[in-house]
A and B are shown apart, each in its own frame.
Chain A
């Protein structure tokens, strides 16, 4: 607060009121999702019918399939985890390589490349999805007509989902790792080299340990962005939908408190991830903050 400026009572009151309303706006939707996961009624709607855990542990015999018995939902969570793991591994690897490329080397066309690397962030996810879908379908056709090959993974499915998500998550990972590499004090590397370390040893014992926090942060954000991605995934999905796409489909069919149960589970998982990252880094949490 700025000490010498007067803050009249009405301004203080208005600030408090605004902040209260803002926090209500922020948390009300999440709160109702959590609360109605425990409502003893077949629809997530008022009135309150009493507390139940049916939407977590109920089985089909009781007429209520809870989250932990819903094989379709559990399967889609697993699908999301597998996809997110691939996207994370690819993005952090490519992002780290890109960081070294952009921070340590000069080459013709570097400026152009740095703009190209940012492009995926300005392309709407839907368009990333359809362009990759169209391109892969063209490749599959070519493989078929030229070599008589049936290249299955180029058809809509999890491989395309991974590629589609990776196409823009890689940019975020690149920005995060580059930001830290830029602040690296190169005299540390010079000292190690002067003391007779090999390039590989310098990389392994000096540079990569320094980059570790950024790489862990990039991994967490990549996993989260992949797990939550909807737009790109929707265009590329095949027979086995990841969680967000399955949830969307079910929400369109009609509401069931099982969706609240799985949402609560997601909230707890993201809260854990957020808290552990915050402990690591303090200020500047969140997908956008990390790209800064």
Chain B
């Protein structure tokens, strides 16, 4: 139904601009938005979908087929990496929540005024630095000739330097480190809005620490927890740099498969199919998270 553009709020006293002026302005403002969304988001994804649904049958000849997706399920390596990436991302998200929650609690409820603000800012500073730099730091710390293995030898814990890189645990540490910010920020804002007197009331009524946490704090912070988890999971799933550098050949991250198909092997059809599978997993988990917590997508994105 065509609707004529109207002012969002009433301005009874102000001279209202002529209708045609509003129409022209609307068109001027719509153009960049539509260009952006169509040329860079919608059409490219349609192209990607078409790519993933075709098969090369002869040089420069293609036919519609589901071969790319069939290959994914037929080849154990591919779907194993996919499942592994999903599980590792879920683990990293849970760990990030565990590490970030106490800090968010300290910032929101224990420290006051300046101390609280300072701590918040200090927590955010590492995330102003490029992920490449942070990965370099972990490489220097953990590699066989690195700082921690040398320290372990010095302390007499290990006889020779051990390789701390290229383990799953290393990848998880790197991912948690990279994701902390995106968990701390929504947690702090949801904890800050929790009225202290509610906690005091629960305590006066005989609630212990754990009960208060489970019945008062977590239900109140649930929107922040969901928002943080959704964002962290998404970013972890789509990460390339950290698993690749800290995990080496053992990382087996799904984005690496996409890169290999697209850039190394130049098999765009297969790469596009992988891309869509990753996108499906990512949006599926976001939808699930929203459904479980009964929130709207728009609210979550604004909150994080």
Please give the residue numbers on chain A whose beta carbons come within 8 Å of chain B beta carbons, in ascending order. Answer: 1-2, 4-5, 15, 18-19, 22-23, 25-33, 36, 43-47, 93-94, 97-98, 100-101, 103-108, 113-128, 130-135, 138, 163-164, 166-167, 170, 175, 179, 186, 189-190, 193-194, 199, 224, 227-228, 230-231, 234-235, 243-244, 247-248, 251-252, 255, 259-260, 263, 266-267, 270-271, 273-274, 278, 282-283, 285-289, 291-292
Tell me the bound Cα distance from A278 to B120 in angstroms. 12
**Docked-complex contact B130 and A244, CB < 8 angstroms:** yes
> B119-143 toward A: CB 8 Å interface, digit per residue (1/0)?
0111111111111111111111101
Tell me the bound Cα distance from A233 to B49 in angstroms. 21
- A130-B48, A194-B13, A274-B124 known; 14 other A-B pairs, CB under 8 Å? A1-B110, A30-B134, A31-B137, A105-B22, A118-B297, A126-B240, A126-B278, A135-B44, A193-B15, A199-B17, A251-B139, A255-B136, A286-B127, A288-B182
Tell me the bound Cα distance from A131 to B1 in angstroms. 33
Given contact pairs A227-B130, A273-B128, A288-B185, A126 touches B47 in the complex (Cβ within 8 A):
no
Residues of B within 8 A of A46 (CB): 145-147, 150
- Determine which residue in B120, B124, B272, B304 has the highest number of CB atoms from chain A within 10 A of its CB, and name it: B124
**Docked-complex contact A134 and B48, CB < 8 angstroms:** yes
Given contact pairs A167-B40, A231-B240, A19 touches B106 in the complex (Cβ within 8 A):
yes
Tell me the bound Cα distance from A190 to B286 in angstroms. 42
A22 to chain B, nearest CB (A): 6
**Docked-complex contact A135 and B5, CB < 8 angstroms:** no
**Docked-complex contact A289 and B13, CB < 8 angstroms:** no
Given contact pairs A46-B150, A130-B271, A235 touches B283 in the complex (Cβ within 8 A):
no
A28 to chain B, nearest CB (A): 7
**Docked-complex contact B146 and A115, CB < 8 angstroms:** no
19 contacts between A and B (CB under 8 A): A15-B110, A22-B102, A26-B177, A43-B145, A46-B150, A94-B36, A105-B29, A115-B298, A120-B41, A124-B255, A126-B255, A127-B279, A166-B40, A227-B130, A228-B130, A228-B132, A270-B129, A271-B128, A286-B128
Which one of B42, B136, B297 contacts A263 once the chains associate, using CB atoms below 8 Å? Answer: B136
Determine if B189 is an interface residue (Cβ-Cβ < 8 Å).
yes
**Docked-complex contact B126 and A30, CB < 8 angstroms:** yes
- Determine which residue in A107, A124, A166, A175 has the highest number of CB atoms from chain B within 10 A of its CB, and name it: A124
**Docked-complex contact B238 and A132, CB < 8 angstroms:** no
Please give the residue numbers on chain B whose beta carbons come within 8 Å of chain A beta carbons, in ascending order. Answer: 1-3, 5-9, 11, 13-15, 17, 21-22, 25-26, 28-30, 32-33, 36-37, 40-45, 47-48, 51, 99, 102-103, 106, 109-112, 117, 120-141, 143, 145-147, 150, 177, 180-182, 185-186, 189, 196, 199-200, 203-204, 231, 234, 237-241, 245, 255, 258-259, 262-263, 268, 271-272, 275, 278-279, 282-283, 286, 297-298, 301-304
**Docked-complex contact B48 and A131, CB < 8 angstroms:** yes
Residues of A within 8 A of B7 (CB): 104
Tell me the bound Cα distance from A125 to B242 in angstroms. 14
Tell me the bound Cα distance from A166 to B41 in angstroms. 11
